[in-house]
A = this chain, B = another copy of it.
């Protein structure tokens, strides 16, 4: 399984928008995926707190990592984000947990937290599972390079 996680991390290294946003994978397990980013001025909105698009992007990436780990290959169909507090924080952590997977459909919840563990946003994602085997997914990734 470690080998697949390494292949997945390699695959997501090609995500340029995530790279520009400074988001990194922290943890991938069967239960959850955790991604994080240090907050810099480039993440700010006009009010000087973390921009709503950045908060969505880190949540969406946590979902992409989890769902492609659990069942490659998954594409996001629908994302929803509820903002609970202005994000004045130095670090963001997004944790994705799968709620349900039925057939081609997976539903996950992602919680984005600030440096003190305070919840900033609650997000829900629906993904379409293409049902590629992990072996096939790894092969496709290597061919891309």
Q: Are A81 and B84 in contact, with the CB atoms below 8 A?
A: no
Within 8 A of B (CB), among A47-101: 48, 50-54, 56-58, 60-61, 64, 75-85, 99-100
Q: Is the interface of A mostly helix, strand, loop or mixed?
A: mixed
Q: Are B83 and A100 in contact, with the CB atoms below 8 A?
A: no
Tell me the complex Cα distance, A140–B31, Å: 44
* A79 cross-chain contacts in B, Cβ below 8 A: 52, 56, 80-81
Report A136 CB to chain B, min CB distance, Å: 15
A and B contact pairs by CB, cutoff 8 A, 8 listed: A12-B46, A16-B45, A20-B20, A53-B57, A53-B58, A79-B80, A79-B81, A99-B109
